Amino acid sequence: MTSLPLMLDQLRSGCIKGISFSRARVTERQQSIEISKTSDLEACHKFPINALCLDPVEGRFLLSGGIAGQIFVHDTFEQSEGTLPVVAKIPHGTRYAHKYSVETVQWFPADTGTFTSSSMDKTLKLWDANRLKPVFLARFNGQVYKHHQSRVNCNLVLLATDESHAQILDLNTSSKTHMLSGAHTGKVRQCIWSPVVEHLCVTGGTDGRVCIWDVRYTRGHLAALDTDHTNQKKANHHRAHHDRIVSMEFSSDGLELLTYGLDHTVRIWDVALAKNRRINFGRISCASVKGVQIALADDGTTPVLFVPSGQSIRMCDTTTGVRLKNLRAHLDSVSAVVYCNHTKRLFSAGADRSILLWCSEAELEEDSKAKSEAIADRWSDSDD
């Protein structure tokens, strides 16, 4: 670890580049991440929380969706008395809210004008974020376990609807354009678009298979990931995990895919070569049968992975698989984590109905001092 004054000198004299400097400082902050003792998010959820999403533009607004169909938005910049306030709410049981559990929420990838949510009530809703009304609703045959809106082509939504195929919905024409079928023997419950390549997406099923698709390619999937990739004989036998897939995440350059399975393992895959990178993360016990949200922070020197594991969040170095930290604060199982690339903070939510804020220690220590002094000041003021 290089001390900040030394590193600043190196930056100022051009011995290291700006990008190396900021990555090293981010890594240093990530490694000292802890539950924030000074800031918290306004409590609003009365039911367990399933999904989180931070707005991609500024990293300011946090969407959260829960088991009773409720959706809330927090403003993570505004702080009154150390609490990040709720700025929008769709409580359960209201007119527009989902009837059953909201499984996924996602901001429109380009701005904060709209967001999408999908639910066990077999619908996907596109919301106007300002009026908090759905402007579009799509119904499906199965429960929507996961949906994902492509960053490259924002109009395409990929859905995992608890069937043996995944579907693609085009928001432009409001029509279901594709069925990605023939690859899974179980039910597709996870799906994700490549963040870089327009036509590339990945599906994960209860059969432990992870399949890579090119949506232009009509004759099935491109590849099914295989743990040992020695098993060349039958592509149908390729398995990425020995149990169902509970979460998938791309690295932001789209070169690597992380999968998390109910077999309590996390694997990293080279997408282009469809190859296991063979990084051993050890056993990360997975409690959720449905699906969780993992987060990858790749703005540091080495990418760091946050995986919900029971009541704790496991923090791992993705180049070595080494466990860096175990973040414990939730009182029930954790269902989702999101990392903010802008403010370098982490948000997590779970069955204990709370959203927690995690940030770097140094800031924290000072914050608490500030607060205590501020309180002391208020006291003395009132004495006068």
Chain residues in the site for other proteins (CB under 8 A):
1-6, 8-9, 11-14, 17-23, 25, 28, 32, 58, 60, 77, 195-196, 251-256, 270, 272-273, 298-299, 301, 319-320, 341-344, 362-363, 366-367, 369-370, 373-374, 377
Minimal distance, residue 110 CB to other proteins, in Å: 13
Report yes or no: 70 and 354 within 8 Å, Cβ to Cβ.
Answer: no
Minimal distance, residue 253 CB to other proteins, in Å: 5
3-state secondary structure 167-212: EEEECCCCEEEEEECCCCCCCEEEEEECCCCCCEEEEEECCCCEEE
Minimal distance, residue 36 CB to other proteins, in Å: 13
DSSP 8-class letter at 91: -
Residue among 129, 125, 86 nearest 111 (CA): 129
Residue number, 263 or 317, with CB nearest to other proteins: 317
Residue number, 111 or 253, with CB nearest to other proteins: 253
Residue number, 60 or 98, with CB nearest to other proteins: 60
Minimal distance, residue 167 CB to other proteins, in Å: 25
Minimal distance, residue 200 CB to other proteins, in Å: 12
Residue number, 18 or 93, with CB nearest to other proteins: 18
Minimal distance, residue 221 CB to other proteins, in Å: 19
Do strands 71-75 and 323-328 pair parallel, antiparallel, or not at all (unpaired)? unpaired
The structure tokens listed for 172 are 């432009």
Residue among 194, 299, 298, 306 nearest 255 (CA): 194
Chain CA centroid to CA 176, Å: 25
Residue number, 331 or 374, with CB nearest to other proteins: 374
Residue number, 225 or 292, with CB nearest to other proteins: 225
CA separation for the pair 259, 271 (Å, rounded): 12
Assign 224 to helix, strand or coil.
Answer: strand
Minimal distance, residue 98 CB to other proteins, in Å: 31
DSSP 8-class letter at 282: -
Q: Strand pairing partners for 176? A: 169
By CB neighbour count within 10 A (0-12 exposed, 13-18 middle, 19+ buried), where does 95 fall? exposed
Report yes or no: 188 and 164 within 8 Å, Cβ to Cβ.
Answer: yes
Residue number, 162 or 256, with CB nearest to other proteins: 256
